[in-house]
Amino acid sequence: MTASFLSFIFALFATTGRPATVRPVLPMSQEEMEVRVRVDAARTLHIDFENVQVVKTTPQIWPDTDLGCPARFRQIEQKPTPGFLIVAKVKKTRVTYRTDRLGLVRRCDGAEKKKRR
């Protein structure tokens, strides 16, 4: 286990409600980001962590620090941001997440709906 992963787990159990965002100094691995996605999916969908499976992970370079998601009421830094597109499966439902390599995990369903139009 890396120090960034351990700090994430500590932050998860040390807070009530939503876990604190912990920004590691070093980029996180694909496996660490997949764990973060599973934790978020379990928390937001109110299911056990063990019931969330990662079915696909693709490395990405996002166009901005908001991972290409629509931003409301805030400025987005337009700089290429490495991360992952991670698809998790919960029962028969698939949820798609975007991540950077520093711990940010985001579901931005609105961006995907806009692309389909």
Provide the pLDDT for residue 110.
Answer: 52
Per domain, the residue ranges of the chain are 27-108
How far apart CA 86 and CA 60 sit, in angstroms, is 10
Query: What percent helix, strand, coil does the chain show, rounded to 5?
Result: 35, 25, 40
Provide the pLDDT for residue 21.
Answer: 62
Provide the pLDDT for residue 75.
Answer: 76
How far apart CA 1 and CA 6 sit, in angstroms, is 7
Cβ within 8 Å of residue 91, ≥6 positions away: 51
Q: What is the mean pLDDT of each run of 10 residues along the chain (117 residues)?
A: 64 58 76 96 93 97 90 79 95 93 85 40
DSSP 8-state class, residue 66 = T
**pTM given for the model:** 0.71
